[in-house]
Amino acid sequence: MPHGDSLAKHKPKIAVALILTFASGLVDIVGYTGVFHLFTAHVTGTTVHFGESLALRRWTDMLAALSILAAFFVGSVAGRAIIESGGRRRFRNIASVTLTIEAVMIAFVAAGHSAWGKAVAMAPGGAHTYLYLAVLSAAMGMQTATLTGVGPLTVHTTFVTGMVNKLAQLVSRISFRGYDFARGLRDTPEKRKAQSAESKQAIFIFCIWVFYMLGAAGGTASYMRWGFAALLVAIAGLVIGVATDLVTPLSVEEEKEQSER
Per-residue pLDDT tens digits for 179-200: 999 998 888 999 999 999 999 9
Run of H or E including 246:
helix 231-247
One DSSP character per residue, 7-66 reads GGGGHHHHHHHHHHHHHHHHHHHHHHHHTTT--SS-HHHHHHHHHHHHHHT-HHHHHHHH
Q: Which of 226-230, 242-246, 248-252 has the lowest mean pLDDT?
A: 248-252
Residue 35 carries which side chain, given as an amino acid letter? V
The pLDDT of residue 118 is above 60: no
| Structure confidence at residue 131 as a pLDDT band (50, 70, 90) | confident
Q: What per-residue string of b and e applies to 240-250 under the rule 16 or more CB within 10 Å gives b?
A: bbbebbeebbb
Quote the pLDDT of residue 129: 79
| Structure confidence at residue 132 as a pLDDT band (50, 70, 90) | confident
Per-residue pLDDT tens digits for 153-177: 989 999 999 999 999 999 999 999 9
Q: Which residues pair with 154 in a beta bridge?
A: 149
**Mean pLDDT across 105-130:** 66
DSSP one-letter code for 183: T
The pLDDT of residue 217 is above 90: yes
| Structure confidence at residue 141 as a pLDDT band (50, 70, 90) | very high
Domain parsing of the chain, residue ranges: 7-259
Q: Which residues pair with 153 in a beta bridge?
A: 150
Total Cβ atoms within 10 A of residue 35: 25
Run of H or E including 136:
helix 127-146
| Structure confidence at residue 257 as a pLDDT band (50, 70, 90) | low
The pLDDT of residue 125 is above 60: no
